Amino acid sequence: MSAKYTVSTMIGFSASHSLADYSGDCARIHGHNWGVRVYYEFESTDESGLTADFLELKERLEGAILPRFDHRHLNDIPPFDRVNPTSENLAAEIYRICRDEIRFARGRLTEVELWETETDMVRYSEDRVR
């Protein structure tokens, strides 16, 4: 049996958006206090028994996400200046950013949750490449 550790942290940011091709209130500009939770999977720990330092993970996540999205109007920034800034598309973009920019030697990103409200979220993942 192989070991598996899942490490997760969450950050928040505030941003507005408006949805194209939507017939409800969300077609108008409105904002959210978004929550982003990332999950990284590890098969082993280091010599001290750690997979990833929570503080380092949170700092790296904040450094990758906040400058791009915090206190911004999503429709004005790439790729959402040409892609509808739905929660689903935003979660996929955050996943791509984390996959490319936040790496750990023994671990890999498995999924991203994007919370639009306290009760509504989308989870995004990609098939594991073997």
pLDDT in tens, 111-125: 999 999 999 999 999
pTM (predicted TM-score) = 0.93
**Average pLDDT of the residues in 91-115:** 96
Is pLDDT at 128 greater than 80 in this prediction?
Answer: no
How is residue 75 annotated by DSSP? G
Is pLDDT at 47 greater than 60 in this prediction?
Answer: yes
- Contact partners, residue 124, CB within 8 Å, separation at least 6: 88, 91, 92, 94, 95, 111, 112, 113, 114
Is pLDDT at 130 greater than 90 in this prediction?
Answer: no
All domains of the chain in start order, with CATH: 5-124 (3.30.479.10)
